[in-house]
Amino acid sequence: MYRETEIIKDFSTDGNGDMIINVGPQHPATHGVLHLVITLNGETIKKIEPHLGYIHRSIEKMCESLTFRQFIYVTSRMDYLSAHINNHACVLCVEQGMEVEIPPRAQVIRVLMDELTRIASHELWWGAMAMDLGAFTPFFHAFREREAINDIMEETCGARLTMNYNVPGGVVNDLHPNFQKRVKEFLELYKRKVHEYDELLTENVIFINRMKGVGVLSAADAISYGCSGPVARGSGVSCDVRKIYPYEIYDQLAFDEVLETDGDSLARYKVRVKEMNQSIKIIEQLIDNIPEGDFVAKTKNVLKLPKGEYYQRVETARGELGVYIISEGSTMPYRIKFRSPGFSNLSVLDKIARGGKIADLIAMMGTLDLVIPDIDR
């Protein structure tokens, strides 16, 4: 009756009881096609090996065959949750070489959209992370607010996720007449509902126990692995590009860089939740003070960047996105390199997950907020 199945053979060949298990590429907790090869001893994680490349579309190579106006739309497909901020980084980089004055209205519009995107991205992260932990209800509650942002985007930019709203010199078209009204409605909705986030997760004793002291990332490790964004700020590393290397009008805005020092999953969670409130603060400052004027600067139809190298970094919802362009003076970039935040953030997973349980790994992946197309590009 008894048959020796392969699992038993696995145990017997190794001798030490280790089990190698593939999480992904199709796994409900990896939110995409990330493939983790995990060495387990019982429930305890001994080693994690991320295998990438399942969603590699060679975006960097693709950009080399597109003009400076065309390549921007491709970058929406990298970190699709903060598509607008990706585009923003690219146009800023192109504008460096164009020597063009960006109208103040365009700057404010871009920043407003950036912050709305950031809230939408964090909102999705919040729901998805709760789902990873086994709580399904927060997901739908988070989507209710995210939907309001998506509707605003749809009305002004014409698309809900991959907006393509930025062009070199400004934005594609002016704000929709309803924009201010809709944003204020959203702010009111958000403030009415934000306490639910605390009630459902932040104060929940099960949630705190699941997150506290799990996946501790020290500040030194965060720096040496090149972490950025909420992951590094959860470890107490001040790295908000909006503060350190301000672009657009961020230096004129009053907002705080959220820092937590614990470095565990709970700290990363708190950073993101507080960041949503900071974004709300920025939107509140700007929404009634949008300057009049042009929304796009006059630029040449055929864009040619002078020969040289250009680098621009912005703060996306996941961390620091760098765009590096080498131009040979033609209409197309000679080489483009993206420094994506997700890749560096993923690389600490092995470091912080060792010794934890499988359930901890899921919580850690949730708080690292991985978007796989951003890692693979």
Partner 1 sequence: MSVKKYIGDAWKGAASLLKGMRRTGYYFTHHKEIITQQYPDNRNELDLPERFKGEVVMPHNENNEHRCTGCQVCELVCPNGSIKVIFKNDLMPDGKKKKAIDKLVYHLDMCTMCNLCVENCPSDAIKMAQTFEHSVFDRNKLKKVLNKPDSKIMDGVE
Partner 2 sequence: MWSFSEIANNLHQWLTGQFNDTWTLIIEMVLAGLAVISLFAVLGLVLVLMERKVSAWMQVRLGPNRVGPKGMFQTLADTVKLMIKEGVTPANADKLMFNLAPFLAIIVAMLLLAPIAFALNFQLWDINIGIFYIAAISSLSVISILMAGWASNNKYSLLGAIRSGAQMVSYELSAGLSILTIVVLVGDLKISSIVASQANGWWIFKGHIPVIIAFLTFIVAATAETNRAPFDMAEAESELTAGFHTEYSGMKFALFFLAEYVNVFIVCSIGAILFLGGPMPLHIGNWEGFNHVMDYIPSSVWFFGKTFFLIFLIMWVRWTFPRLRIDQLLNLEWKYLLPISMINLLLVTAIAILKWHF
**Nearest approach, Cβ of residue 98 and partner 2 (Å):** 46
110-149 binders of partner 1 (CB under 8 A): 137, 144, 147
Considering only 19, 37, 52, 159, the residue that binds partner 1 (CB under 8 A) is 159
How open is the CA angle 119-62-240, to the nearest 5 degrees? Answer: 30
Is 136 a binding residue for partner 2 by CB under 8 A? The answer is: yes
User: Shortest gap between Cβ of 137 and partner 1 (angstroms)?
Assistant: 6
Which residue number, 140 or 311, has a Cβ lying nearer to partner 2? 140
74 binds, among partner 1, partner 2, none (CB under 5 to 8 A by kind): partner 1
Within 10 angstroms of residue 232's Cβ, the number of other Cβ atoms is: 30
Work out how close the CB of 251 gets to partner 2 at its nearest, in angstroms, rounded to a whole number: 39
- 185 near partner 1, judged by CB under 8 A: no
Of positions 90, 94, 157, 201, contacts partner 2 by CB under 8 A: 201
For position 199 contacting partner 1 by CB under 8 A, the verdict is yes
Question: How far is CA 372 from its chain centroid?
Answer: 10
Q: Give whichever of 210 and 377 is closer to partner 2, judged by the CB atom.
A: 210
Binder to partner 2 among 46, 69, 335, 357 (CB under 8 A)? 357
Helix (H) or strand (E) holding 226: none
Sheet architecture: strand order including 35-41: 18-23, 35-41, 44-51
**Rounded Cα–Cα distance for residues 127 and 157 (Å):** 25
Please report whether residue 368 would count as binding partner 2 according to CB under 8 A.
no
The rounded distance, in Å, linking the Cα atoms of 241 and 316 is 9
Query: CB neighbours of 205 closer than 8 A, spacing ≥ 6?
Result: none
Beta pairing partners, 171: 166
SS3 call for 282: helix
Residue with tokens 């393509």: 164
How many other C-beta atoms are found inside a 10 Å radius of the C-beta of residue 201? 25
Asked if the peptide bond before residue 25 counts as cis, ω within 30 degrees of 0, the response is: yes
Candidates 71, 247, 310, 338: give the one binding partner 1 (CB under 8 A): 71
Find which of partner 1, partner 2, none residue 147 binds, CB within 5 to 8 Å per kind.
partner 1
| Residue from the set 101, 203, 251, 284 that interacts with partner 1 by CB under 8 A | 203
**Residue 216 C-beta-side C-alpha neighbours within 13 Å:** 6
Minimal distance in Å, beta carbon 46 to partner 1? 32
Q: Is 70 in the site for partner 1 (CB under 8 A)?
A: yes
CB of 137 to partner 2, least distance (A): 5
> Does residue 177 touch partner 1 according to CB under 8 A?
no
Q: CA 295: distance to chain centroid? A: 26
By CB under 8 A, residue 52 contacts partner 2: no
Which amino acid, 241? V
Q: Which helix (DSSP H) or strand (DSSP E) does residue 20 occupy?
A: strand 18-23
The DSSP string of 104-130 is HHHHHHHHHHHHHHHHHHHHHHHHHHH
Q: Binding to partner 2 by residue 35, rule CB under 8 A?
A: no
Contact flag: residue 73 with partner 2 (CB under 8 A)? no
Where do contacts with partner 2 occur on this chain (CB under 8 A)? Answer: 1-3, 5-7, 19, 21, 27-29, 43, 130-137, 139-141, 144, 200-201, 204, 206-207, 209-210, 357-360, 362
